Amino acid sequence: MNAYILTSACLLFLLGLAHSIFGEILIFKNLRATGSIIPSMFNEHLKERHTRIIWATWHLVTVLGWCMGVVLIRIAYLASSQLLTFIVNSISLATLVGSLLVLIGTKGKHPGWVVLLIISILLWVGEIKI
C-alpha cells in the first residue's frame, strides 16, 4: 500500500466535502427561493440560468474530485506499472495547476490552494515510491 497516494485520496474527499458544504453556506444559500434545492435567484448581472449552471458546476468539481479520490485509493493498493504512474502524475499535475489557479484567482485568500498543493506533493512523492 502506498500511504502517500492513499492520504492524497482522503484529502480529495475532505476537500470536496468542504467545498460543497461551504459553497452552499457562503454562496448559494442567499440565491435560493424558499424550499428550493437549486438556486434560482438572479439580478441584473446574473440570469437564473447562469446561477443554476454556476451551482451545478460548483458541485461538479466535488464529484470529479471524489472520482479522482476513488481512482487513487485503487492505485494505492495496486502494484507498479507505467499506466499507474501516468495516472498519478496526471492527477498530481491537475491538482498543482488547480492550486495555482485558486492561489492566483483569490490572491491566496482561499485555503483550497493549500490543500490542492499538498495533494499534488503527496502524489509526486507517492509516485516515486510506485
| pLDDT over 90 (residue 6) | yes
Please state the rounded mean pLDDT for residues 103-113: 92
What is the domain extent for residue 65?
3-128
Print burial letters for 47-83: b (CB count within 10 Å at least 16), e (below 16): eeeebbeebeebeebbeebbebbebbbebbeeeeeee
Greater confidence, 72 or 50?
72
pLDDT confidence tier of residue 114, bands split at 50, 70 and 90: very high
Tally the domains of the chain: 1
Average confidence score pLDDT of the chain: 92
- What pLDDT, in 10s, does the model give residues 16-65? 999 999 999 999 988 887 778 888 887 778 888 888 899 999 999 999 99
Of 114 and 52, the structure prediction assigns the larger pLDDT to: 114
Maximal C-alpha separation, the chain: 55
